Chains A and B, each alone.
Chain A
Amino acid sequence: MLDSKIPAGKLEDKWTDYKGHCKLVNPANKRKLEIIVVGTGLAGASAAASLGELGYRVKAFCFQDSPRRAHSIAAQGGINAAKNYQNDGDSVFRLFYDTIKGGDYRSREANVHRLAEVSVNIIDQCVAQGVPFAREYGGLLNNRSFGGTQVKRTFYAAGQTGQQLLIGAYQALERQVALGSVQMFSRHEMLDVVMIDGKARGIIARDLISGKVERHFGHAVLLCTGGYGNVFYLSTNAMGSNVTAAWKAHKRGAYFGNPCFTQIHPTCIPVTGDHQSKLTLMSESLRNDGRIWVPKKQNDPRKANDIPEDERDYYLERRYPAFGNLVPRDVASRAAKERCDAGYGVGTTKQAVYLDFRYNLINKYGRAEASKHGIENPDQETLVRLGKEVVKEEYGNLFDMYEKITGENPYEVPMRIYPAVHYTMGGLWVDYELMTNIPGLYALGEANFSDHGANRLGASALMQGLADGYFVIPYTIGNYLADEIATKPIPITHEAFEKAEAGVTERINKLMNIKGSQSVESFHKRLGKIMWEKCGMARNAKGLTEAIGEIQQLKKEFWSDVRIPGGIEEMNTELDKAGRVADFMELGELMCKDALERNESCGGHFREESQTEEGEALRNDDQYMYVAAWESKGDSNWQLHKEELKYDMIKPTQRNYK
């Protein structure tokens, strides 16, 4: 059994007690300690900035041309915090409870409670940095609702919350760069972790412009490198989002936790054709005001606006009256798939459902505005006009984006949406201190597995990324580094650096020398198709077994027939991509293996063999109440370690959103 190092004591006191007793590093010693931060999204930028402020010497790396472009920037809807500004009964306990339940009882109580506790500090911190959150006319912060909760605790900045939070963290980071405490390496990709005497002591990175391979020492290494949704090829992730840094750590001995836990987000713009390179999310916040429906008649050929009210099936409201359109993502996604599979899908591909704003646009916003303006008995046209203005304020950028992509005006016709891969709850296994099983190697944000169990609630990813970076790691890393103050910086001429660099160079040469006939992209597409069909929204033993064989075959083909043009010591985006796709193939195999091993349904992991009569996910707590932490044992070979999940505060039950 794995030791997650959860502090003793009452759940609500653990974090306070930990902070009161963890080891400290004095300011003079902090200046002697070097920390490497890989990735500059919410977790990485906030960690690098905060550690720089504390006086550590930080080196931060990102593959983009600027740290401001990390994919956290694309998060739309909001960030949760247990502020209870709305006086609607929210509390740290409720946020904790909702998150544990939303995750279908597969996350750690102690971590999630800590997350709920620090959530309130995040909002304060961001406001102080100048993050322009939405405000009410009285000047106070505004909130909206997100799925899986019955309170309004989500703070937001129109549909650009991730952007605004990341810019806040980025500016804090750049301030430290100016002060000399953080050194920034943009357009760099981490390609290995350097291990000395069993501890992480640095990284090998490639300069993506010159192609040169570099060595960097650190007393500790933080991986804040995001999730691996791009293993599916089509996802809402950025094109460059990849698993490579986490995977290299895994190959060096770090356990990979719950790799099969993938979030399929219910509201994305549907796939239109083979040319598509990525999918675009339409924020969950739209489910505040958008109602999801399909025609009651199968294969209905009519246009959406020609279908009368009583011939529409608002299936989420029908199936889940208590939560309605705001059920958690996994539930909403499966319900959409069920309707489409049963022949009720809409649009040309029939793989879509409607997300319709007309009702709330008219009845909620139109009427409120009319009343505000003193218009009695407003006609339909006036209501639509008034309602549109409010909807535009709340979601304008999302509506514009939808129109640019589809050519349809969502103010006039309902959006067509379908589930798509969005987030990965799985990731590197970490203990309470966010340290992997390798001493000195940490994983923060989406890159770790820890807080969301088998399904993440909306507006919780931003919360976790910033919690880890601003408020957790500055404490926990001290507990490790306090014992490292006597460790002098290890010269990068050390044998371990030399060997790690040689390994990286050898792999690059190997890739370049294949000189085959198929493009990297074509392999990635094929991998994605296998993953989506057999390890996607619904999984079964037969499909998963087949997928493992198919991926192994694909991997062989890749390593004998991939074609990478260009050279090594130059900017070569095909080479960058090839390394990432090679890692995705290995990860894909592990995901299928993990999904096969977990013969229960929980959260986003739906095994067809394990469902209730009504088609809901059926957990098997007796056998699977654990975190699956996989240890790499060489090519296509893993050993399973288990971390038992104990629930002291909450009693796991069948999730019920009815």
Chain B
Amino acid sequence: MEHYSMNLTLKVWKQKNATAEGNFETYQVKDISSEMSFLEMFDVLNEQLIHEGKDPIAFDHDCREGICGMCSMYINGRPHGPWHGTTTCQLHMRAFKDGDTIVVEPWRANAFPVVKDLVVDRSAFDRVIQSGGYISVNTGVSVDGNTIPIERENADKAFAAAACIGCGACVAACKNSSAMLFVSAKVSHLALLPQGDVERKNRVLNMVAQADKEGFGSCTFTEACEAVCPKEISITNISRLNSEYLKAGLSADKAH
């Protein structure tokens, strides 16, 4: 792979805190190597800003290997930038060329208020999980792990849904700011396993209700979420959620 170096113009959202008004600031960065990750390019910019006596740009990041779900930049109109199935931290600068202008914003959704610059508050996702995204089993009461065989196909599907990293790109991409891909991934993960069967009705009803309460919008099935999901969570999970929801809702003994 040929490496190259580039000069770039960055237009980045700056916002002092949750209540302040934000605006785009324009920055120039020079001699960026195509081998760098996108966040390493931001490191370079922040070092530059510190040397100039300016405030660096606040952004969320942690593992930098695409698994913690912390990084969350809206790059050139797309959550996590131009690469398919990739988090911001795994996006590398060879995706860009010399002279490019890159626009970087935070996730935009009422349920994800901006904390500072590119940092948003995603605690709504934790509260959605609290409403039922678990199997109610206390430590120490379990039977042997091989007591219940699980059909390989279902185990694989459950795993594929459980791969969600809770980054919120699905919400950021959705014109309705719907969290349905996130909710459906958890509902599917647990509904596909025999261990999750017992609570499946309450789970889906409660999680959808909580998502509504948090201010996430409704799903109109535009599939924008699937297109940007860094873990390529499939929208068939949303279909499964709809079917789970319908079944739970139709069940007469469930009052909510």
Contact = CB atoms under 8 A, between A and B. Distances in A.
Do A and B truly interact? Answer: yes
B197 to A, nearest CB: 10
B58 A178 contact: no
Interface string B56-80: 1010111111111110000000000
Contacts of A563: 50
B14 interface: no
Given A132-B158, A275-B40, A275-B43, A71 B50 contact: no
Contacts of A67: 126
Contact of B115 (A129, A141, A177, A209): A209
A444 to B, nearest CB: 14
B122 to A, nearest CB: 6
Contacts of A132: 155, 158-159, 162, 189, 193
Contact of B144 (A124, A139, A519): A124
B140 A74 contact: no
Contact of A130 (B121, B166, B193): B193
Interface in B33-59: 33, 35-37, 39-40, 43-44, 47, 49-51, 53-56, 58
Q: Which of under 10, 10 to 19, 20 to 34, or 35 or more describes the interface residues of A?
A: 35 or more
B56 A574 contact: yes
B136 A175 contact: yes
A139 B151 contact: yes
Contacts of B51: 519
A50 B138 CA distance: 7
Nearest to B162: A132
Contact of B68 (A74, A178, A408): A74
A137 B152 contact: yes
- Classify the secondary structure of B's interface with A: loop
A359 interface: no
B101 interface: no
B28 interface: no
B123 A404 contact: no
A64 B61 CA distance: 9
B139 A171 contact: no
A521 B152 CA distance: 47
A399 to B, nearest CB: 13
B190 interface: yes
A141 B145 CA distance: 8
A147 to B, nearest CB: 21
Interface in B127-176: 129-131, 133-146, 148-152, 155, 158-159, 162-163, 165-166
Interface in A386-441: 400-401, 404-408
A66 B130 contact: no
Interface string A141-158: 100000000000000011
Contacts of B36: 275
A273 B64 contact: no
A49 B1 contact: no
B242 to A, nearest CB: 21
A347 B16 CA distance: 44
A135 B155 contact: yes
A474 B139 contact: yes
Given A83-B145, A171-B135, A130 B190 contact: yes
11 contacts: A66-B166, A69-B69, A130-B193, A132-B158, A163-B67, A170-B129, A172-B139, A175-B134, A238-B68, A406-B1, A565-B55
Listed from nearest, the 7 A-B pairs whose CB atoms lie closest are A139-B149, A171-B134, A128-B142, A407-B1, A132-B159, A178-B130, A127-B145
